Structure 1
């Protein structure tokens, strides 16, 4: 009984020619697939992903025809401050929700690209093993053992070669099946990457259009401001000068009330609103009444008492919390507010109804906004790049007040992000007492560090 039966002497050359062709084909296939797919390490994949995201974003444009359509829509609101405010708040909400969707898509893309990199690494690691197996087959193909019935004297070599073949071929088949599986998985991953990129492109287009809508609305609304531009500029210059002299934000606000007419008027309006809304401590709010009150975008005073507003305020921006209230601030103290990493150029909205008590630079905070929402409370937003509201202006909950830059501005926090991403600092105070902003948000548009780490699992 023979262990392995080779073809007869007459047919043996054709047999080995075909066999060697198969081996050569396998060599070419495995060498090409493993090397072509294993081009990037995990670090390179991350760099490539970032470059691809930037390429998608940079490719987004708005046609001149669409720009004209937006201008025509906004011109319908000319002189109608109520409609302008409603449109601003709605657009800002769409921006915030779209930014959340964009963040989710970018995270999924990162996971997919990482999975692609791991598949390529597996193929690269299997390259040497496959090469060894195929080299053994090549050696046999060059020096095939004779069939036992032709040359019984070489039975031992024939048996060894046949045994080697019977052990190599199943292993080679198994490795081939694994690689085919990896290739199929890679193809599926690439298809998913393409789908996510298409979704991301659509979201980027929406963001760009809404940002243009907001900028146009803000410009249109400023045209309707009664105050003389020169007077406004003079007040802003004086406010910024006073900010350089103040030793605390409380001192700054008190000084502004005394020195600047619009701030004084805003403080009086806040006090009148408090008197009108009542002085009951933390009265319970009816959710339906809150919705109805906020729907009135023509209001010139807060829709409800700020002291009772826990669970009803709008987070000023979407992002990831990198420093929570009460945490070590990195300077040997305790954080008096919350710090959020936002997207570059993210829109910032007012967390509550209130009056702008100060806007401009302050110490190492960068561009800041101080809002008086009533009930002896103040809200500080710091780290902005551009501010779109005026001193003394009454702003509505959810109304755009400015934009972030492309990196961290000021020295409000110390984080591992360094200056690579913009950071918004939020501080609530009741007179001189700092408050945790977290319980005040109506719905979660920021992530805690634990939630940020809970990334989707790759395949």
Structure 2
């Protein structure tokens, strides 16, 4: 028999020594559980802070979205104002062009009148240089004198009219040029307003886009942190649950070995996280058939045989094939399943009429506490040690007292065969 099986048999036989050795283990279990709970509390606090930050960023992002919407509405209004100003500028440009044309026409008219006025002035100057006596004596007919005087008077009146018209046109030209300058100033001011408003809206849009991108990145980072912390909290919660379950299992197993004449109450399986209450454990089903051997391996240590120089085996040790399957010897409920300090993986099944079976040395256990199993159902697998043959330790207890399991198993074998 391997050293591992000897260690299990010695530990299971000398319960007091095992319990004394397990005291530091219990302290370590409590320390591990306390550390896991403390880490879980810290993680949940960090998760709460991350979710608060996420909510704050979401509120800021919503406020920014409202601001962007207001900017969009303001941009549309400003665009309408810009369009109106551009239309006004276009109208002013047309008016200025019309005024420029008017100035050109007036200048041409003024030039024409200037020529006519020049000729009239020259005529009047010649008449003015003639002495009155010459004008009177130089003609034989008085009527010609009258006509000359009348002509001079008419020329003078026409000259005055032309002068008035020229003054009017000059004033119109001056007014038109002033209007053009005023229109140009209004146009320049309107264009400057359009430019400033456009630049302001562009700047606000850029700022809003930059703020949105920054908040979006911060929101994504906060959400990522919250998800990571949530995953970590879920992992820690599961770890705490498993540690608590392991502590309950270990306490039950210690009680089981401490008082073999008293049947302790098996620990309840951990309830799923989504439930608030655990369903009651079903009653142990009665055997449908006789018990079966848990393995096809050969017996290497029988019940009552001395294992080493000190201890006597309270069970049976089987040599099994590597990775062979292990089955439940009888219908029942899983009372304990998991590692037990000093014994490796341990499986205890509760059967009807106060019987318990114990299997140790498995490499894998495929059932959990509270599961109902049938006789012959797979409950685990053996491993493959680097040296030697895998060994399964099997123990049968009747109301807490170890008894020889071979007659019980063979009786079931005979019942099944005939």
The one of the two structures with greater contact order (alpha-carbon pairs below 8 A, sep at least 6) is 2
The TM-score, its normalising length taken from structure 1, stands at 0.33
Structure whose CA Rg is larger: 2
